[in-house]
């Protein structure tokens, strides 16, 4: 049994079968990532995330595995890159947030001769902006691809990923994972190409949940995955399946931004704002109001050594307007010291949106699943301030 990370609410206990998990993880690591006995993998994770299972399962393919317990940026932002060099790692697994932080810190890992062994970087937990692929080529290695993976605790593996025989395009995932019938659907259950739709799986995959814990009649299980398209698994992510078969992940569909009837993913704004050298991280929420109104606040964390001024915020608004569209400009920007995540590093878009809509924080998230629960109070305070307006 694994617990979901809590990005959409209180974590769910998901019960899996051993056979499917073993089969799909061996194929994902040994075939899709082309790992073998000559490789050493280092994937930074924690034991309360399904990626810990990957760290262990890589042994099925005869691969050496590296584990690390501790802060990924202590004593300095280069900590994980130093482990890559020291252990002669050939595949380094990390998060888009860590890559973003490395770029913001001005790191150039290729200057350490030990990183010459690195041939692949894998990333998951959030969409990987195209700009990070470019940073890896310039700062890590011109021939080191970023293999983005979209999966989850739901299946203890991937829905979308990579293949040694498929090209890697900046900001895209090369294709569906082995054995996964993944597509993008419109609201009427029709397949889409080159348009944003819901990520769905139309046939059973190698590894899927047996049931949820404390859900004897499978009501919660069926409501979670099959309430939108009967007989078809809806994952809850917006994706574009391109005409060449690759995928672009835009973010959670249950936290979609909707300005005047135009829908777009939060990752579109993050790609712009988080590429600014003055910004370490951003969070944007689309909040439907009880009176029918709509507010789209953004929260930004200054990069180390920066203090975000009004001029900086005006520059961010201008970039969102010109590199995105006028609809991408938030209604308000709040400068905050940090943004709350799940303990696996995912932004809490859905629970925070519900708090801003007036929900009691204790009903929409588990404090034990949040990296810094004290940060949540600020969103409850903002919700009360909105109500007092």
DSSP state letters, 242-268: -TTS-EEEEEEGGG-EEETTEEE-HHH
Domains of the chain by residue range: 2-181, 253-388
CATH 3.40.50.150 applies to domain 253-388: no
For residues 71-96, average pLDDT: 93
Under the banding of pLDDT at 50, 70 and 90, the label for residue 73 is confident
User: What was the pLDDT predicted at 260?
Assistant: 59
pLDDT tens-digit series, residues 301-331: 999 888 999 999 999 999 999 998 888 999 9
Instruction: Give CA angle at 209 (178, 52), nearest 5°.
Output: 70
Please indicate whether the domains covering 2-181 and 253-388 agree at the CATH topology level. Answer: no
For residues 61-71, average pLDDT: 92
What share of the chain in percent tops pLDDT 70? Answer: 95
For residues 62-91, average pLDDT: 94
Q: Which one has a higher pLDDT value, 65 or 263?
A: 65
Whole-number Å distance between alpha carbons of 32 and 48: 24
Pair of tokens at residue 306: 């920066």
Q: Is 374 helix (H, G, I), strand (E, B) or coil?
A: helix
Exposure on the CB side of residue 269, measured as CA atoms within 13 A: 29
DSSP 3-state percent helix, strand, coil across the chain (nearest 5): 35, 25, 45
**Phi/psi of residue 221, each to 5°?**
-60, -50
User: What was the pLDDT predicted at 125?
Assistant: 75
User: What was the pLDDT predicted at 200?
Assistant: 96
pLDDT at 374 over 60: yes
15 membership: H or E segment, kind and range: strand 13-15
pLDDT tens-digit series, residues 6-46: 555 567 889 999 999 999 999 999 999 999 999 999 999 87
Pair of tokens at residue 333: 């920007």
Rg (CA), the chain: 20
Under the banding of pLDDT at 50, 70 and 90, the label for residue 262 is low
pLDDT at 265 over 80: no
**Cβ-proximal residues to 342 (8 Å cutoff; 6+ apart), any chain:** 5, 6, 7, 348, 369, 370, 371
What does the longest C-alpha to C-alpha distance in the chain come to? 62
User: What was the pLDDT predicted at 119?
Assistant: 94
Under the banding of pLDDT at 50, 70 and 90, the label for residue 296 is very high
Lowest mean pLDDT among 152-156, 295-299, 373-377: 152-156
**Phi/psi of residue 208, each to 5°?**
-140, 160
DSSP state letters, 124-190: -SS---HHHHHHHHHHT-TT--EEE-EEETTTTEEEEE--TTS---TT-B-EEPTT--EEEE-TTS-
Lowest mean pLDDT among 11-25, 139-153, 257-271, 364-378: 257-271
User: What was the pLDDT predicted at 7?
Assistant: 56
pLDDT at 126 over 80: no
- pLDDT mean across residues, the chain: 89
User: What was the pLDDT predicted at 8?
Assistant: 56
User: What was the pLDDT predicted at 6?
Assistant: 58
**DSSP letter, residue 67:** -
Q: Is 102 helix (H, G, I), strand (E, B) or coil?
A: helix
Exposure on the CB side of residue 287, measured as CA atoms within 13 A: 27
Model-wide pTM > 0.85: no
Pair of tokens at residue 216: 């004897």
Whole-number Å distance between alpha carbons of 140 and 115: 8
User: What was the pLDDT predicted at 363?
Assistant: 81
Instruction: Report the CATH superfamily, name and number, of domain 2-181.
Output: ANL, N-terminal domain (3.40.50.12780)
For residues 42-51, average pLDDT: 84
User: What was the pLDDT predicted at 318?
Assistant: 96
């Amino acid at each position: 049994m694994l617990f979901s990370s809590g990005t959409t609410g209180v974590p769910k206990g998901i019960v899996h079968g051993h056979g499917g998990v073993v089969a799909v993880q061996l194929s994902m690591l040994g075939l899709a990532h082309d790992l073998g006995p000559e490789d050493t993998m280092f994937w930074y994770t924690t034991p309360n995330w399904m990626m810990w299972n990957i760290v262990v399962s890589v042994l099925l393919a005869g691969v050496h595995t590296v584990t690390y317990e501790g802060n990924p940026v202590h004593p300095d932002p280069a900590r994980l890159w130093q482990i890559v060099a020291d252990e002669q790692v050939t595949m380094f697994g990390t998060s888009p947030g860590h890559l973003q932080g490395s770029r913001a810190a001005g790191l150039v890992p290729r200057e350490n001769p030990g990183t010459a062994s690195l041939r692949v970087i894998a990333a998951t937990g959030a969409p990987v902006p195209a700009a990070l692929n470019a940073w890896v080529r310039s700062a890590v290695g011109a021939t080191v691809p970023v293999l983005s993976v979209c999966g989850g605790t739901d299946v203890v593996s991937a829905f979308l990923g990579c293949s040694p025989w498929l090209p890697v395009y900046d900001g895209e995932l090369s294709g569906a994972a082995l054995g996964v019938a993944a597509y993008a659907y419109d609201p009427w259950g029709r397949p889409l190409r080159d348009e944003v739709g819901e990520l769905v799986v139309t046939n059973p995959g190698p590894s899927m949940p047996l049931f949820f814990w404390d859900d004897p009649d499978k009501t919660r299980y069926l409501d979670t995955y099959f309430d939108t398209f009967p007989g078809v698994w809806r994952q809850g992510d917006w994706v574009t399946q391109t005409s060449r078969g690759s995928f672009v992940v835009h973010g959670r569909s249950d936290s979609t931004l909707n300005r005047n009837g135009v829908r777009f993913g939060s990752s579109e704004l993050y790609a712009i704002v988080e590429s600014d050298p003055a910004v370490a991280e951003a969070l944007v929420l689309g909040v439907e109001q009880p009176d029918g109104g709509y507010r789209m606040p953004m929260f930004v964390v200054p990069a180390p050594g920066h203090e975000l001024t009004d001029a900086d915020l005006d520059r961010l608004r201008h970039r969102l307007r010109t590199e995105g569209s006028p609809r991408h400009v938030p209604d308000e920007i709040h400068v905050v010291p940090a943004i709350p995540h799940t303990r696996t590093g995912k932004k809490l878009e859905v629970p925070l949106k519900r708090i801003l809509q007036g929900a009691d924080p204790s009903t929409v998230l588990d404090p034990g699943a949040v990296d810094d629960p004290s940060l949540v109070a600020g969103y409850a305070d903002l919700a009360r301030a909105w109500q007092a307006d």
